[in-house]
Amino acid sequence: MEPFRVDVPDVVLNDLKTRLKLTRWADDFANEGWQYGTNTDYLKELVSYWIDGYDWRKQERAINAYPQFRTEIDGVPIHFIYVRGKGPNPKPLILSHGWPWTFWEYHKVIGPLSDPRAHGGNPADAFDLVVPSLPGYGFSTPLRKPGVNFWRTSGLWVQLMEQLGYPRFAAHGADWGALITADLGHRYPERVMGVHFPMMLPLDLFSGGMPPPEDYDADEAPMAARLQNFFATESAYSALQSTKPQTIAAALNDSPVGLASWILEKQRSWSDCHGDVETRFDKDDLLTTIMIYWVTQSYGTSARYYYEAAHNPWTPVHNRIPVVEAPVGISVLPEEICSAPRRWVQRYYNLKQVTYHASGGHFAAWEEPEAIITDLRDFFRALT
């Protein structure tokens, strides 16, 4: 393992600014509600700020304030933040992100989880935090090994935590990270003290597994409709990235505005922002995520994560119920795009804690950090 610092060469930043200024804008009309996709007027506003107001070096300094490392496991480069907890007996906790996220979406929870006393909490709730970039994402690049998907990543995390001296650990994740974390609880229950996530989907999602209609109670009809609407109107990105990711990688690796449009639309559609993305994320937040993909040229391998999940589908290592045998905690946010009915959840997971929240969407720790901090402390407090 080698210490790592983010230090993007000036030539990359200068090239970026040139590309932004030379953007050939697509015509856009009758799209005030983003019904056709990313609204060009807002995108132009964001790009104008990107050119004249955004300070990447400031964001670099914020990222580099945390200890970072890089290693290689089974031919896969892994970048991660590693912060030791300040308390009498910190528990090791790995936090897994998704797409189009980066490790940095967890930066609001790192301080409170690792140093509770400094943030008004009990030092007995401290965690040793490991926050990796998924393989092929951000600084876990360049990825040159095919076949790496969410369930293979869970095995990489077991090895990573073992190398750090943690034969057993706690895990939390969202989006792909929720599937990684659930797979840890299925495949390696003896290695995890518990698993926690805000997104509920079957691990065999890519081979057709979904909660059956009869599992939905009458009051869960809106949840079923939201999930159905997501797959009908919001999942074209997944179909493309699961089948021909390299085709669009050529475009988004070359055009920063194209990359911004692709990611921004998801940040708006999947968050609890009611159409105004800046009620959840300011322009610096939005652009820093986009920048991490841009400066590492990692969009292409992040998109392949979908292809590898679809073409190397998850299969169980046992046929017992619950499928996820490790203790499970769930944070339920009302605008999470992928929630599941109670009866299915109680059957599929070894459920120990469910907490319902009044607001929040798909980017849980980014949108509602206090809720996730509290839920993680409460869930893992009694687990060893």
Helix or strand run (H / E) with residue 47: helix 40-52
Q: What average pLDDT does the structure give for the chain?
A: 97
Q: Residue 258: its pLDDT value, please?
A: 98
pLDDT, tens digit, 9 for 90 and up, residues 139-183: 999 999 999 999 999 999 999 999 999 999 999 999 999 999 999
CA distance 188 to 166: 14
User: Domain containing 289 — which CATH number?
Assistant: 3.40.50.1820
- Alpha carbon 195 to chain centroid, angstroms: 15
Give the closest residue to 330 by CA, choosing from 206, 174, 190, 219. Answer: 174
pLDDT, tens digit, 9 for 90 and up, residues 31-86: 999 999 999 999 999 999 999 999 999 999 999 999 999 999 999 999 999 999 99
Count Cβ atoms below 10 Å from residue 338 Cβ, excluding itself.
20
Question: Amino acid letter at 228?
Answer: Q
CA distance 256 to 253: 7
| pLDDT band of 126, cuts 50, 70, 90 | very high
HSE-CB of 173 using CA atoms within 13 angstroms: 32
Paired tokens of 121: 């909490």
**E-assigned strands of 181-275?**
192-197
pLDDT, tens digit, 9 for 90 and up, residues 333-354: 999 989 999 999 999 999 999 9
Q: Please state the pTM of the whole predicted model.
A: 0.97
The boundaries of the domain holding residue 182 are 2-380
Count Cβ atoms below 10 Å from residue 67 Cβ, excluding itself.
13
Domain count, the chain: 1
User: Catalytic amino acids?
Assistant: 175, 306, 362
> With 90 as the cut, is the pLDDT of residue 20 above it?
yes
> With 90 as the cut, is the pLDDT of residue 208 above it?
no
Pairing of strands 76-83, 68-73: antiparallel
Percent helix, percent strand, percent coil in the chain, to nearest 5: 50, 15, 35
> With 90 as the cut, is the pLDDT of residue 311 above it?
yes
